[in-house]
Structure 1
Amino acid sequence: MTDHDATTDPSTDPSVDRSAELDALVGEWLSLPDFAEALGTDVGRARSIVQERRVVGMRRGERTTFQVPARFLVPLHLIEPANAKQPSGDGRLGVLASLQGTIAVLTDAGFRDEEIIGWLFRTEEELGESPIDALVKGRKAHVRRIAQSLA
């Protein structure tokens, strides 16, 4: 998890300028308790998922709580789009499986968590859509090729 330095002057902190852009790109965010609830687990397990870097998030909002983009969660039958199963109809969600490896590639390229989120949600010209949309559609190899070229 990335912590926001409480001593940072907001007028010189570049992440302050990006937060409005990220909010517009991401749309819905989930606090850690909401993330846990969406997964049907407890906050401790949700925190482990973040520590394992299966997802990334950032401190944001009025109370600067740690939050994760809601789009990182997909219906359980779609967690591996290439092996999509029949919907169960129970509305259960899981973390998009291809996200963890993509996060690793971007981390290795020197991206901070906020930058990873921005890259995943901005339209990538070569993909013709955002990388998160491409991952949800099962285009993991293409997304990662582009991510590797950023190093």
Structure 2
Amino acid sequence: MSEPVTAGPAGWITLPDLSEKLGVSISKVHQMIREGSLLAVRRDGIRLVPAELVANETVLKHLPGILTLLHDAGYNDEEALRWLYEPDETLGGNAALGLGGDRAREVKRRAQAAGF
């Protein structure tokens, strides 16, 4: 089992709160996690989603593609979380923060390279 990420999100959202924020059922949130469109990890027995990965009433546009690339490269959810939150000032602080802006293409390129 992987160690939990040390540097991480500034905040977390529970699945019921995320369901409400996105305006979808809790089962839809679980489906998004199963399909790899959304990242959730357990902390103290509760599944949580990094708050930065959800903008307004939607998941960040490029997140599902990035998660697919990382999972295809063999990353589990904890490792994907660690990769997204690894400090990197060239991406505005880390890859997760880079997803929300003009650095998204570079984040995707780096995720593609992670498999090699």
Return the match for 1:148 from 105, 112, 115: 112
Q: CA deviation at 1:38?
A: 1.4
The whole-number CA distance in structure 1 between the counterparts of 2:23 and 2:92 is: 34
The whole-number CA distance in structure 1 between the counterparts of 2:84 and 2:2 is: 19
Return the match for 2:35 from 33, 47, 52: 52
Superposition TM-score, scaled by structure 2 size? 0.86
1:132 aligns with 2:113: no
Once the two structures are superposed, what CA deviation does each residue of 1:62-93 show, in whole Å capped at 9, x if it has no partner? xx021111111102xxxxxxxxxxxxxxxxx1
Q: CA deviation at 1:55?
A: 0.8
Task: Select the structure of larger CA radius of gyration.
Answer: 1
CA contact (8 A) 2:37 2:67 kept: yes
Unmatched 5+ stretches in structure 2? none
1:65 aligns with 2:29: no
Superposition TM-score, scaled by structure 1 size? 0.68
Which has the higher relative contact order, 1 or 2, with Cα contacts under 8 A spaced 6 or more apart? 2
The whole-number CA distance in structure 2 between the counterparts of 1:38 and 1:122 is: 27
1:43 aligns with 2:26: yes
Helix, strand or coil at the partner of 2:55? strand
Q: CA deviation at 1:130?
A: 0.7
Question: Kindly tell me: are residues 148 and 125 of structure 1, through their superposed partners in 2, closer, same or farther at Cα, counting changes over 3 Å?
Answer: farther
CA contact (8 A) 2:91 2:97 kept: no
Percentage identity across paired residues of the two chains: 30
Q: CA deviation at 1:126?
A: 4.7
Over the aligned positions, Cα root-mean-square deviation in angstroms equals 1.8
Give runs of ≥4 in structure 1 deviating > 6 Å.
none
Q: CA deviation at 1:125?
A: 5.4
